[in-house]
Amino acid sequence: MKINGEDYRRRVLGCWMGKNIGGTLGAPFEFFRQTNDVKFYTQNLGGEPLPNDDLDLQLLWLIALENRGLNLTAHTLAEYWCLYVTPHWSEYGTAKVNLRSGLPPPWSGTCGNDWKHSCGAFIRSEIWACIAPGLPEVAARYAVEDAIVDHGDGEGSWGEVFFAALESAAFVCDDIEALIEIGLSYIPSESAMAAAVRTAVEAHRSGQGWREARDEILRQHRGSTLFNLPGRTSPEDRAKGFDQGRLGFDAPSNVALTVLALLEGGHDFGRVVTTAVNCGEDTDCTAATAGALFGLMHGIEAIPQKWIEPIGRRIKTLCINLGDIGGQVPQTVDELTERTEQIAHQVLARQERLDKLSFPGEKEVPAEALAALRGTESVRRDLAASMTQARYRFDYYTVDVGIDGGPRIRNGEAKTVRLTIRNNGNEHSHLLVRWHVPDGWRVEPAHEGEVLVLPSIMSGPTTQVFTVHAGELTGLVARCLVELAIDCRPTVMAVPVVFANGNFGS
């Protein structure tokens, strides 16, 4: 089987057009807890879409892929955050403050972040799916590197993993219920995200209309309205007890409402995006993601021209500091599609899938092929590890840094640090481990020692446990460094271990 370039392009073009349409349609109703009665655009658009952070950040990630190559990690994306992402609100703002103080991902998205369970990550999942068509595990691994920068170990990160895997599989499967199960296979079954998606699926299967299903989702999984402002909840929803919720806990309910819109709308694009908006909540995000996924499943020709004409094919940005990259930002959905395809061919070539991937369209996908798209327990464990440990990649080794209880530390406090080392080469290695710490700090059992690390093909990773005793903290962060070296070889790996000053924090 060979990749069908024409089919790929019609799906990706449908994705980006659906994203632009849904975001524009939903923007006027964003973060109002109410049901709406939207049937079409409610703005005078003048032939152009509204700008939307849902798409903006994905344009930035495309540029990062083009400029930095396929080996993007959370650390590279964090540099782009600091340089080019302009908003200071909610999870975006908290992550930027953490990054600029020196905290690396995932702690940049976890520490002090009341919005780590919010919607800012799942809305930017499509780029990873589109560069890894039919490769949901690859898409999920890219997605987690992205999500942890500003959502850390939150439900928001699982939302992006869920949609990236689902959307990647949409290139080879058009059954929405099968796709939902594929997406769920990449996230923990006990997560709030999985529970909310299951509520949407079960409500739809039981025959509930979208209004009843929407209420059930909010009854079980709602977060707050915009800062719990009273005027953001309709009288009808206040009467149902929906006027309060947990601040920043928005991703589970909004992902579930997006799923509900796709189930309710079926093959009718207009019904999909209007259902998403009519459910209320983060309407630009839900409608944009639903529209994008519809386009991936059915292609650009399934989106009626009446939805395209009012906004045209241009892209407008809002949340990117154009600075030295302004000339690199795609100007139209057609240009975005073309450049996305160029990266996808690189990913497919790396995966050796150029001659093994087909796009069957409406054809039935065999059960064994669907099973091969599902996530495994080992993949879920590794994705979860990425959300709680800082991962550093070198030519032959990967080192995860875990800090029990997170990176906040007080004067004189002791913290347990776990270094998990994977040998990705073929030879046994004795690594010299040497800690470099600030004056007055100490490390147990020793500042220096040696550890044998077997190749991954022979053994699992090696974990070394240390106790770090803090001295006096004087800045926002305290940086330690673990030097890993190999005798008789030039390899030297520097692994940062960063602690946040917790003297006045909770």
Segment 234-281, tens digit of pLDDT: 999 999 999 989 999 999 999 999 999 999 999 999 999 999 999 999
Q: Residue 361: pLDDT band by 50, 70, 90 thresholds?
A: very low
Q: Which residues contact 296 (CB under 8 A, 6 or more apart)?
A: 11, 12, 14, 15, 18, 126, 129, 130, 167, 170, 171
The residue-averaged pLDDT of 301-330 equals: 94
The residue-averaged pLDDT of 56-62 equals: 96
Q: Residue 301: pLDDT band by 50, 70, 90 thresholds?
A: very high
pTM above 0.85, yes or no: yes
The residue-averaged pLDDT of 357-381 equals: 75
Q: Residue 3: pLDDT band by 50, 70, 90 thresholds?
A: low
Q: Which residues contact 324 (CB under 8 A, 6 or more apart)?
A: none
The residue-averaged pLDDT of 442-453 equals: 95
Q: Residue 360: pLDDT band by 50, 70, 90 thresholds?
A: very low
DSSP codes of every residue in 105-170: TTHHHHTT-TTTTSSTTGGG-HHHHHHSTT-HHHHHHHHHHHHHHHHTTSHHHHHHHHHHHHHHHT
Higher-confidence residue: 106 or 427?
Answer: 106
What percent of the residues of the chain are helix, what percent strand, and what percent coil, each to the nearest 5? Answer: 50, 15, 35
Q: What is the pLDDT of residue 1?
A: 33
What is the CB neighbour count within 10 angstroms for residue 208? 17
The residue-averaged pLDDT of 94-116 equals: 96
CATH T-level topology, domain 391-501: Immunoglobulin-like (2.60.40)
Q: Residue 4: pLDDT band by 50, 70, 90 thresholds?
A: confident
**From CA 221, how far away is CA 146, in angstroms rounded?**
24
Q: What is the pLDDT of residue 228?
A: 83
The residue-averaged pLDDT of 101-118 equals: 96
What is the CB neighbour count within 10 angstroms for residue 388? 16
The residue-averaged pLDDT of 67-94 equals: 94
Give the residues across from 314 on adjacent strands.
Answer: 332
Question: Is the preceding peptide bond at 445 cis, omega within 30 degrees of 0?
Answer: yes
Task: Provide, rounded to the nearest whole percent, the portion of the chain with pLDDT above 90.
Answer: 85
Helix residue spans in 209-268 (DSSP H): 210-221, 235-239, 251-265
Homologous superfamily assigned to 5-378: ADP-ribosylation/Crystallin J1 (1.10.4080.10)
What's the DSSP call for residue 217? H
Segment 162-175, tens digit of pLDDT: 999 999 999 999 89
Domain ranges of the chain: 5-378, 391-501
